[in-house]
Structure 1
């Protein structure tokens, strides 16, 4: 896929470097983009760049939109419902007793679910994807909370992408 994205640049000559030869002379002035999120997009099949704008969408924005449309959301088809059920079953297999109906429930407090998961995992810790499934939150939210817990010495990273509560707060899982 041949796509070029040009954000605001400091030097005019960078426009030609990013978008292609003579784009600055043709009037594509990326150094004058004046608002957050504005950029130029040049894709295969188009003879000239297009102006575009991106917006920051946070996990909270996504949750709010999902809640807004939930009352009129159509039911899942059988295949999707089965896949969702299988994903839940896989999480239970991986986390053992950490994932139960109360924690996976969408109405549960994600912070409480995260803390419960961190406190009850074995010494090998719990992975970020497992925490995402347990809390229903996105990767950015998970890492933000993990960093907060680590800064307060409540959680620690035991290996790449695996976390647990620090020893004073941990409840060892039954063997």
Structure 2
């Protein structure tokens, strides 16, 4: 055994030099992270698209109360500002309103901004003249993404 200048005993045979990760270990970690990113990124994009469509639905659904009030008062409305909506939003390029006091029908249409997942299109909430219920319908640029729509629009 050797003695250091501080008086502690050391064993020269057990002294190891510290080393970092080997190249193969780093390559394995990079491969695992790449696989996780490849799987999760498309799911993340779908989640973001779904939240944009839900927000657009919420933005135009708020106008239903204004439409109901206008119909009750016997006033036809064709401007979204008249029912408390903006003419366009971050998600809706334009918002259009149509009412027919005579038969009680109405519609609020959001022309969706282009998106890489759903491709744009229209989201419409409609009040049929035969009932007082509102329905939602949508036409999206990409056909295979209907599951991204809010539940009332599917």
TM-score scaled to structure 1, two decimals?
0.19
Q: As a proportion of its length, which structure holds more strand?
A: 2
| TM-score, normalised via structure 2 length | 0.22
Rg larger in 1 or in 2? Answer: 2
